[in-house]
Amino acid sequence: MEAVLVILFMAIVGAIIGSATNFLAIKMIFRPYKPMYIGKRKLPFTPGLIPKRRGELARQIGITVNDYLLTPDVIKNKLFSPEIRFAILQFAQTKAEEAIFLNNKTLKDWLELAGFKDVPEKVEGRVDEFIEKQFVALKQTLSTKPIEEIVPEDIMKTVDKKVPELVDTLLLKGEDYILSSSGEITIKNLLNDFLASKGTLGGIFQMFLSDSSSVVAKIQHELVRILRSSETKHSIVNIMNDEWEKVKKRPIMNYLNEIQLEPILMNIQSYAKKELAIDERLNKTIHYYFPNGHEWVKYEIMPKVVDKALEIAESHLEDVLKRLDIKEVVREQVDSFPIEKLEEIVVGIASRELMMITFLGGFLGGLIGIMQGLIVQLLN
């Protein structure tokens, strides 16, 4: 009976020692968190394994993550897969449609969101300045350059060719007028005025020419003969060509001196602003100008934008990862992660396994205690 009690006692002591040893070993992985001292001497095994090797552990985790877990190929395969591309495209299409076409924001609102204030007033001011600047430049040009330098050469040649045609038209119109009843009356009146201006002698001729119809007819005939003469046409053409050459050599403003240009400028500015109607046009939504714009953006623009963005991102991925330096980021994060939180996570995940390790230590300790008790009894 005494031997059984000794063996049982040793088994219990062994189990307690074994479980306590394993429990302490598990705790020493994380604890103590900081070095402990007696006076100036640091106690051995302080701090715990993880706190003591924290820097090396963080560095090794960073290298592992950078070299094996988050490599450029892995990120490319995950980030630029068809599924990701489809998800990004759907998100972009939805946001573009909601943000641009399915709200009541006007163009003016969008411009204000972009930081552009009082756009209509500023645009109208710029329009006035532009028109005035162009008007002054045009006035300067018309005042200094002759007509032949301003008007295109082909137009000038066309006008030159039209001079003989114009003379023909004028001669025909003159002939028609001379032979008309109005022309006959005009000639008769001119004849009477001429004779009346000659005093007594003219009066005597008027008495002999009381019926002046025949004389008027002869004058008409003679005038028509003169108008139909080639010499007449040639002379008039030469005269008009000479005058036209003089006109071409002069600036247009020589013929516009009496015209007030300032009211014209103001009218042009008012007309331009009225036709532009900047404020009215900017108070319309994008949907007003592009009723089917959301379909175009959704199915034409966004796929191209997403594909281009992913293409650019993929081409610059390795450079970005180098600049990001994942292993350094991971090292810093692990190195700054609270040991208490890390212990809580590990123990929370492996609590059953750690408990079983403690129980296993107790079991082995108890088994060793029984064996020791049996050996002691055999030796006695």
pLDDT tens track for 255-294: 777 778 788 888 998 999 888 888 888 888 887 888 887 7
pLDDT tops 60 at residue 358: yes
Task: Note the residue count of the chain.
Answer: 380
Per the structure block, which two tokens stand in for 184? Answer: 């006959």
User: Could you give the CA distance from residue 136 to residue 139 in angstroms, rounded to a whole number?
Assistant: 5
In order of 179, 180, 183, 209, 240, the CA distances from 223 in angstroms are 9, 13, 11, 19, 20
User: Could you give the CA distance from residue 237 to residue 245 in angstroms, rounded to a whole number?
Assistant: 12
pLDDT tops 70 at residue 116: yes
Per the structure block, which two tokens stand in for 9? Answer: 């006692």
User: Could you give the CA distance from residue 324 to residue 335 in angstroms, rounded to a whole number?
Assistant: 17
Task: Work out the angle at residue 179's Cα, subtended by the Cα atoms of residues 178 and 182, and round it to the nearest 5 degrees.
Answer: 70
pLDDT band of residue 203 (cuts 50, 70, 90) is: low
DSSP 162-203: HHHHHHHHHHHHHHHHHHSHHHHHHHHHHHHHHHHTTHHHHH
pLDDT tens track for 303-345: 898 889 888 888 888 888 788 888 888 888 877 878 788 778 7
Q: Percentage of the chain with pLDDT > 90?
A: 2
What is residue 133's predicted lDDT score, i.e. its pLDDT? 92
Mean pLDDT of 151-163: 86
What is residue 378's predicted lDDT score, i.e. its pLDDT? 79
Mean pLDDT of 357-374: 84
Strands annotated E in the chain: 37-38, 41-42
Query: What is the reported pTM?
Result: 0.49
Tell me whether residue 22 is exposed, middle or buried, using C-beta atoms within 10 angstroms of its C-beta: 0 to 12, 13 to 18, 19 or more: buried
Per the structure block, which two tokens stand in for 73? Answer: 């190929």
Contact 7, 374 (CB under 8 A): yes
Mean pLDDT of 141-169: 86
Determine if the peptide bond prior to 32 is cis (ω within 30°): yes
Contact 192, 209 (CB under 8 A): no
Task: Work out the angle at residue 126's Cα, subtended by the Cα atoms of residues 121 and 131, and round it to the nearest 5 degrees.
Answer: 130
Higher pLDDT, 334 or 21: 21
Domain ranges of the chain: 2-81+314-379, 146-250
- Chain-centroid distance, C-alpha 354: 61
Q: How many CA atoms lie within 13 A of 93 on its CB side?
A: 16
